[in-house]
Amino acid sequence: MRFLWNFIKYLVFLTLLLLLGLGVYAGNTAYTQLFSQPWDKLLAIENHRNDLDTIHALERKYGWQRVAVTSKDSTRLQGTYMENPSGSHKTVILLHGLYQNRTMCVPYARIYLSRGYNVLMPDIRGHGESGGSTNDWGVHDPDDMDSWVALLRQQDSQVSIGFHGISLGAAMSLIYAGTPQGRGMAFYVADSSYGNVLELGQEKLMNYTGDQRLLAGMEVLEPFFQLSMYYHTRKTLRDVDPASCVQRMTAPVLFLHGDVDRLIPPHIAEELMTRCTSPTKKLVYFEGSGHANEIMDNPRGYDRVVGNFLESL
């Protein structure tokens, strides 16, 4: 009888060990898949990350400066710098969306140039002329932002730096805002940010495959996903989710969102606003605008909202 009991315990132990091993394997697979999925297809967005003819033509036409930095992991990053003729010490870093490049930021640059700001438009890693993985989801981006900030401070020791991001760029801005270095920035404008990368992936993957069972499966795998992520990056979702990072913010922030955004639902902006710990924060919805389309649908209104925010600082 005692032998049978010991055998059962041994069998249970082996079963649990096997399940644990399968969980670790599945979690690691899910983690690697996060960075290799065809997100342009999953999110139904166009891929313009290598369409650089326009920005090159504008750089030549207006004499904008091509700039580059090397990030902490030795990735080479490229960008465009526009010096304001006013000799200002104020600079904004504009961050573009997923599968775009710095060309996307040109309409936003005009808002700041007209108000005396210098403008830096980097290509986010894996986009445009910057090296690295396309889908980094904020793992290395804070280090990238540190490198760009260091460049600006090297050029001007008195510089005051703000961030304005669109879609993925908004999420990267908010992630940086939650870091010790990011809390020292002058302001943030977050246009159409997502809140949680795993939830975004779950929803879009389910829509793409039509398999509802994926949701339950991914929820079971989340602890193993987090374990794998920490093993590979020494970070957890808390470090790369805007919804978590805004809980460590102190700089003024303006959230912008289209009220008919079908890619990132409008309620995400409300959740980010609610979670945000900054003493100065505001949320503005743009009526009738889809994902990151506010500046195209209502350019004057967009300029006015951002301008009023800057004047309030």
Do 223 and 261 meet the contact criterion of CB atoms below 8 Å apart? no
- pLDDT, residue 141, reads 96
Region for residue 42 given its phi and psi (left: phi exceeds 0; alpha: psi -120 to 50; beta: otherwise) = alpha
For the entire predicted model, the pTM comes to: 0.89
* Chain position carrying tokens 């139904």: 44
State in Å, rounded, how far the first CA of the chain is from the last one: 77
- pLDDT, residue 122, reads 99
CA distance 268 to 285: 12
Burial of 265 (0-12, 13-18, 19+ CB in 10 A): middle
Domain 41-196+241-312 carries which CATH code? 3.40.50.1820
Residue 179 is given by DSSP the state: S
CATH 3.40.50.1820-classified regions of the chain: 41-196+241-312
Concatenating the DSSP letter of every residue in 115-166 gives TT-EEEEEPPTTSTT--S-S--TTSSHHHHHHHHHHHHHHH-TT-EEEEEEE
- pLDDT, residue 237, reads 77
DSSP helix, strand, coil percent of the chain (3-state; round to 5): 50, 15, 35
- pLDDT, residue 236, reads 78
Sorted by sequence, the CB contacts under 8 Å of residue 51 that are 6+ apart come out as: 101, 103
pLDDT by residue, tens only, the chain of 313 residues: 666 565 565 565 566 656 555 555 655 666 666 666 676 776 778 899 999 999 999 999 999 999 999 999 999 999 999 999 999 999 999 999 999 999 999 999 999 999 999 999 999 999 999 999 767 888 999 999 999 999 999 999 999 999 999 999 999 999 999 999 999 999 999 999 999 887 776 666 555 555 454 554 556 667 766 676 677 777 777 888 999 999 999 999 999 999 999 999 999 999 999 999 999 999 999 999 999 999 999 999 999 999 999 999 9
- pLDDT, residue 197, reads 81
